Chain A
Amino acid sequence: MNYFRIFLAFLRVSIYVETAYRINFIIQLFQSLLNLGMTLGGLAIIFTYTNLLGGWQPYEVLALVGVYFLVGGIIRLIIQPGMEELIESVRDGTLDFRLAKPADAQAVVSLQRVEIWEILDIILGLGVLIYALLKLGEIIGVPQAAEFALMLTAGSIIIYSFFLILSTLSFWFVRVENILVIFQSVYEAGRWPVSLYPGWLRYGLTFIVPVAFATTIPVEALTSRLNWQTLAGAIALSIVLFIVSRIFWKTGLKRYSGASA
């Protein structure tokens, strides 16, 4: 598969760059652990005062934290860096170099940068998730696992499409450099079950900045809270959003290349 090889090429560059600074690894690990520790600390404090948070047991919320880190890591590993780079390259005109490559432009700009140290977050998140599931003692049957994997995939596609749409705006508006920050700030709210929040906030976290699809919904699948409407809705949304974002991307690209829309 050609795109896999492209991805590997970018990955190799990233590894070379990062290992140039030996202290990078230690610092990244430290930061990931610090971040995790902070979240777990908050959790610990909350659960000294209660046994149930909005119907969620402590280890279920822990599972959510695991998924929060896992998906956050995936986003910061491969989705966000490429989009940041895209916005920057539209601004300074270096996008042309990417477009000149003999591959689909969207694939190239999406894979163009890999922040390899985010692997640490993914591993940590996975570790926390597995630990929480073990503690829950739930026998994760095939249906739940399958739904989980499905929701995780759908969530990732939704988040990716969301990022792509935001980044494509840079073809029209010059000053969108910091627009991706909006996801970072709002994603913080994903550390807690979205069902805790009042209606308007829940709506915002689902349909405006789709944090819920990244964290709460996959864990709901795992803890048998998911109804088929949400499942179907997530799948449908992921497909629709992917198509819409690609169309939007192509429109933006045409504008950038000077052709009429």
Chain B
Amino acid sequence: MKPLVQLYIQQFKTTLAMMFQYRASLVIWTIGQVLEPLVYLIVWSVVANSSGGSVGSYTTADFAAYFIVLMLVNQVTYTWIMYEFEYRVREGILSAALLKPVHPIHSDIADNISSKIITLPIMIAIAIIFAFAFHTSVAPAPWAILAFIPVLLLAFLIRFILEWTLAQAAFWTTRVSAINQSYFVAFLFLSGQIAPLTLLPHAVQILSLLLPFRWLINFPVELLLGRLTMVETLIGIGAQFGWLIVSIVLLRTVWRAGVKAYTAVGA
């Protein structure tokens, strides 16, 4: 275990150095991360305003709170690993990872967490500014705040493992953009990024219960907004655990198959 901990610490130092080199790109990337939930926030607010102040159980202020919290949850859980993998395959440096005696996922998780440790404070600051600008706030019960921590952690783990597994597609094809895009579109609708899931058509809501996405975004967000009962929260955590197991199994299967496919034809 100790060498693994050392790896994570070392990767943090490495990521820190890299981010310092790429600070301009980081700013641009942050703009994108902020703009998307902001746009939906505004659009839904306009809709709510012209519909007598609310849509479903969401008032204008509720929408603002929803999308601001979503922005943070998204920031904590998102990954860029599929682009990273595509880049590694393109540059021919994927082989280097295969020559190491450690599973490459560890470096990647460490890198992901490390960069968020740096960017999260900025995002929180932006969230606070937005909360003031859009006249909104959250007031969840203490138990909800406590439950939020493991829920967010699980969401991060599941999302990372799923997306890392998806990134393996680069082993089989260079045409990963279509696969990635399909994933992002499904994620957008079924995780609650486009609208709170309760506002979506019934069929879509059912679909979202069968897939992992809602438990990664909509669930944590609703929890922190104080919109869930304890029972609903427990069910949600159960679903998260279930998806965690599924995603780990998927990861191992796909990774093994991916290495096999890759080593059949080489770099």
Contacts and interface: CB of A to CB of B under 8 A. Distances in A.
Interface of A: 23-24, 27, 30-31, 34-35, 37-38, 41-42, 45-46, 48-50, 52-54, 175-179, 181-182, 184-186, 188-189, 191-192, 196-198, 201
Nearest to B38: A201
Contact of A178 (B21, B28, B200): B28
A186 B35 contact: yes
B251 interface: no
20 contacts: A27-B175, A30-B178, A31-B181, A34-B182, A35-B181, A38-B185, A38-B188, A41-B189, A49-B199, A52-B50, A54-B46, A178-B24, A181-B32, A182-B31, A186-B32, A188-B39, A189-B39, A192-B39, A196-B43, A201-B38
Contacts of B50: 50, 52-53
Nearest to A30: B178
B215 to A, nearest CB: 21
Nearest to B27: A182
Contacts of A30: 178
Interface in B19-64: 21-22, 24-25, 28-29, 31-32, 35-36, 38-39, 42-44, 46-47, 50-51, 55
Given A34-B182, A179-B24, A49 B194 contact: no
Contacts, number: 88
Given A31-B178, A49-B55, A186-B31, A178 B25 contact: yes
Given A27-B178, A41-B189, A53-B46, A185 B31 contact: yes
B127 interface: no
Given A188-B36, A192-B39, A181 B28 contact: yes
B177 interface: yes
A54 B195 CA distance: 18
B58 to A, nearest CB: 10
Contacts of A52: 50
B28 A185 contact: yes
Contact of B22 (A53, A175, A201): A175
A216 to B, nearest CB: 13
A89 B27 CA distance: 24
Interface string B210-253: 00000000000000000000000000000000000000000000
A45 B195 contact: yes
Q: Which of A23, A24, A27, A30 counts the most chain B CB atoms within 10 A?
A: A27
Given A53-B46, A192-B43, A175 B31 contact: no
Contacts of B21: 175
B46 A31 contact: no
Given A49-B51, A192-B39, A197-B42, 8 more contacts: A31-B181, A42-B194, A49-B47, A50-B50, A53-B47, A175-B25, A179-B28, A186-B35
B186 to A, nearest CB: 10
Interface in B164-209: 175, 177-178, 181-182, 185, 188-189, 194-195, 199-201
A163 to B, nearest CB: 14
Nearest to A192: B43
Contacts of A178: 24-25, 28
Nearest to B55: A49
Q: Which of A30, A37, A176, A182 counts the most chain B CB atoms within 10 A?
A: A182
B32 A185 contact: yes
A129 to B, nearest CB: 21
Contacts of B199: 45, 49
Contacts of A191: 39
B28 to A, nearest CB: 5
Nearest to B40: A42
Interface string B1-29: 00000000000000000000110110011
Contact of B42 (A49, A188, A196): A196
A188 B33 CA distance: 11
Contacts of A46: 43-44, 47
B60 to A, nearest CB: 13
A192 B45 CA distance: 13
